[in-house]
Structure 1
Amino acid sequence: MTIRPRVAAVLVVSTLIWAGMTSCSSDGGRPDTGALPAHRELKRVAYAAPNMTTQIYAGQADNFVKAGRRIGVEVKVYDNSADAATAITNANLMVAQKPDLLVEFAPVADATSRISAIFKRSGIPCIAVNVRIEGCAFFNFDQKYLARAQAEVIAAKMKAKGWDGTNTTVVIEQASKLGPSVNIAVTWFYQELVSMVPGFETITSDQITAATTTIAEGQGLQVDGGTDIDSGFSATSQALQTIPADRNVVVYTVNDDTTVGALRALTTARRDGRAMVAGYGATKPAIDAMRSGAPWVSSAKGFWEEWGQFLLAMGTALLRGVEPPDLTAPPMIAVTPENMDSVYAPGMTKVTRMPALPESSKYLLETGILQKFGNVEGA
Structure 2
Amino acid sequence: MGKKHDNKITIKQRRQFMELKTPLYEAHVKAGGKIVPFAGFLLPVQYEQSGVIKEHMAVRTEAGLFDVSHMGEVLCKGKDALANLQKILTNNFENMVDGQARYSLMCNENGGVVDDLIVYKKGDNDYFIVVNAANREKDFNWMVQHKFGDVEFTNVSDDYAQIALQGPKAMDIIRRLTSEENIPQKYYHAVFNATVDGIPCIVSKTGYTGEDGVELYLDSSKAEEMWDKLLAAGKEEGLIPCGLGARDTLRMEAAMPLYGHEMDDEITPLETGLKFAVKMDKPDFIGKAAIEAKGEPKIKRVGLKVTGRGVIREHQDVLAGDQVIGHTTSGTHCPFLNYPVGMALIDPKYAEVGTQLQVDVRGRKVDVEVVALPFYKREK
Give the structure with the higher percent helix.
1
TM-score in terms of structure 1 length: 0.27
Give the structure with the higher percent strand.
2
TM-score in terms of structure 2 length: 0.27
